[in-house]
Structure 1
Amino acid sequence: MARKKTTVMVDEKDLALIKQAAAREGRPESEYFREAFHLVATRSRRWQEDWGIPIVDFGRPISAEEVHRTVRDEIFDDEWADDR
C-alpha cells in the first residue's frame, strides 16, 4: 500500500502517551498513528452494497438481558473448557 506523508496536530498529553508506549514496546511512533488513522478510516466507512446479514426469528421477542446472559454463559463455559 502506498503511503502519503501528512502533518497532524495532536494534544501534547496524547503524544506523550504514544512516545511512552513506543519506547515500552519497541515500536516506532508512526505505527501508532498509522493504526489510529486506519481504525478511524475503517470505522467511518460507508458501504453501498447490502451486507447480507441473515434475519434470525426466534418466534418471540428477545430481551437485551437474555442476550447478555447467553453471551456471559458462553464465555464462562469457554474459559472453563480449557481447564477440563
Structure 2
Amino acid sequence: MALKRTNVYADDSDLTLIKDAAARLGVPEAELIREGIHRIALSHRVWDEPFVSDEETFDLGGPVDREDVRTAVVEGYEAKTRRNGGRAA
C-alpha cells in the first residue's frame, strides 16, 4: 500500500489522547491516525450495488419472544462457563 502525505488539523486534546494511546500500545502515533482514517473511510463507503435487493429477504426463523432471548442468553452463558473451566469470565 502506497502512503501519501497530507496535513490534518486536530484538537490538542485529541492529539494528547493519541500520544498516550500510542505510548501505551507501543506503536507510532501515525499508525493510530492511519487506522482512524481507514475506519472512517470504510464507515462512509457507498457500495455500487445494494447488499440486499427489495425482492430479497432474510428468514430469521419467525418472531422472537422474551423467553427465546432468555434461553439463548442462559445457554450462551453456560457454554462460556464450560469453555472457561467453570469460570464465567
TM-score (norm 1): 0.73
- Aligned to 1:36, what secondary structure does the other structure show? helix
Report 1:1-84 matches (<5 A): 1-52=1-52, 55-59=58-62, 61-62=63-64, 69=70, 72-73=73-74, 75-82=76-83, 83=85
- Aligned to 1:14, what secondary structure does the other structure show? helix
TM-score (norm 2): 0.70
Separation in structure 2 between the aligned mates of residue 22 and residue 45 of structure 1, nearest angstrom? 27
Runs of 4+ in 1 over 4 A off after TM superposition: 65-71
Unpaired runs of at least 5, structure 1: none
CA RMSD of aligned residues (A): 2.7
Aligned length: 82
> Among the aligned pairs, what percent are the same residue?
39
Unpaired runs of at least 5, structure 2: none
Answer with 1 or 2: which has the greater Rg.
2
